[in-house]
Chain A
Amino acid sequence: MRIPSKMLRAGLGAALLWPAAAFSQTADTGDTAWVLTSTALVLFMTLPGLALFYAGLVRVRNVLSVLMQCFSIACVMSVIWIVCGYSLAFSDPMINGLLGGLSKSMLAGVGFDSVSGTIPETVFVMFQMTFAIITPALIVGAFAERMRFSAMLLFTSIWLLVVYVPTAHWIWGGGWLAEMGFRDFAGGAVVHVTAGVAALVAAIVIGNRQGFPMTPMLPHNLTMTVTGACMLWVGWFGFNAGSAVAADGAAGMAMLVTHTSAAVASLTWMVAEWIRYGKPSVLGIVTGMVAGLATITPASGFVGPLGALVIGFAGGLGCFLATQFMKRKLGIDDSLDVFPVHGVGGMIGLLLTAVFSSVASGGVGFDDGTTMASLLGVQVVGIVAVFVWCAVASFVILKLVNLVVPLRVSEDDETEGLDLVLHEERGYTL
Chain B
Amino acid sequence: MKLISAVVKPFRLDDVRNALAEAGVQGMTVTEVKGFGRQRGHTELYRGAEYVVDFLPKVKIEVAISDDLVERAIEAIVDAAKTGKVGDGKIFVTSLDEVYRIRTGETGDQAI
Residues in chain A within 8 A of chain B (CB atoms): 213, 216-219, 273, 276-277, 279, 281, 283-284, 287, 320, 323-324, 327-328, 337
Cβ contact within 8 Å between A327 and B47: yes
- Residue-wise interface mask of B (45-77) relative to A, using a CB-CB cutoff of 8 A (1 in contact, 0 not): 111110111000000000000000000000000
26 A-B residue pairings within 8 Å (CB atoms): A213-B49, A216-B44, A216-B53, A217-B51, A218-B44, A218-B46, A218-B51, A218-B53, A219-B46, A273-B48, A276-B48, A277-B45, A277-B48, A279-B45, A281-B45, A281-B46, A283-B46, A283-B47, A284-B47, A287-B47, A323-B47, A327-B47, A327-B48, A328-B48, A328-B49, A337-B47
Q: Chain B interface: which size bin?
A: under 10
Interface majority SS (helix, strand, loop, mixed), chain A: helix
From 78 to 110 in chain B, residues with beta carbon under 8 angstroms from any chain A beta carbon are: none
Known: A216-B53, A219-B46, A281-B45. 12 other contacts (CB 8 A): A213-B49, A216-B51, A218-B44, A273-B48, A277-B45, A284-B47, A287-B47, A323-B48, A324-B48, A328-B48, A328-B49, A337-B47
- For B49, list chain A residues within 8 Å (CB): 213, 327-328
Nearest CB to that of B46 among chain A residues?
A283
A375 to chain B, nearest CB (A): 33
In the assembled complex, the Cα of A277 lies from the Cα of B47 at a distance in Å of: 10
Q: For the complex, what is the distance from the CA of A323 to the CA of B52, rounded to whole Å?
A: 19
**Which residues of A have CB within 8 Å of B46?**
218-219, 281, 283
Q: Which residue of A lies closest to B50 (CB)?
A: A277
- Chain A residues, Cβ within 8 Å of B47: 283-284, 287, 323, 327, 337
Counting from the closest, the 7 A-B pairs by CB-CB distance are: A216-B51, A324-B48, A327-B49, A323-B47, A277-B45, A283-B46, A287-B47
Contacts of B45 in A (CB 8 A): 273, 277, 279, 281
Q: In the assembly, what is the distance between CA of A281 and CA of B51, in Å?
A: 14
